[in-house]
Amino acid sequence: MSVTANRIKELRTQKKLTQSELAEIINTSRVTISRIESEARQPSFAMLSLIANALDTTMDYLQGKTDNVLKTSQTSSDDGDDKPLTPNQRRIAYSIDPSVSDEEREDIIKMVHLAMKHRRRI
């Protein structure tokens, strides 16, 4: 079993989550989780990111690049808002191209904030 598949399954079971529960958290199917854990499918960058967030770890840990299972504290723009994402937020996060640069990501965030600001005025 690959490091990624093994670590996803290990963390999921440690958190007492079924495949269905993890799938619901990240807005996918149980079959997708099953295929990832059995190595029948390789998760995309975006999917791996969602799984890492749901399991409260990093993509580097899931990929075997580090043995540190814990997330490190963020130094940039951490507003302390640790609430889980809503289903709509997860859909938006999943739809963003994972190859965007940091500058492009910041521009997207600014556009979203601007759109939300104008929506409230209506």
Question: pLDDT tens digits for 30-65?
Answer: 999 999 999 999 999 889 999 999 998 999 999 999
Q: For 67-122, how does the pLDDT look when each residue is reduced to its tens digit (9 = 90+)?
A: 888 876 444 445 555 677 677 776 677 666 667 777 777 777 788 778 777 776 54
Instruction: pLDDT band for 24, please (50, 70, 90 cuts).
Output: very high
Which pTM was predicted?
0.59
18 membership: H or E segment, kind and range: none
CA distance 8 to 43: 11
- What's the rounded Cα separation, in Å, for the pair 37 and 47? 13
What local confidence, expressed as pLDDT, does residue 18 receive?
94
SS3 of residue 103 by DSSP: helix
Whether 99 contacts 105, CB under 8 Å: no
CA nearest neighbour of 97 among 89, 105, 87: 105
pLDDT at 41: 92
Sign of CA dihedral 33, 86, 66, 106: positive
Within 10 angstroms of residue 94's Cβ, the number of other Cβ atoms is 17
* 64 vs 48: CA distance, rounded Å: 13
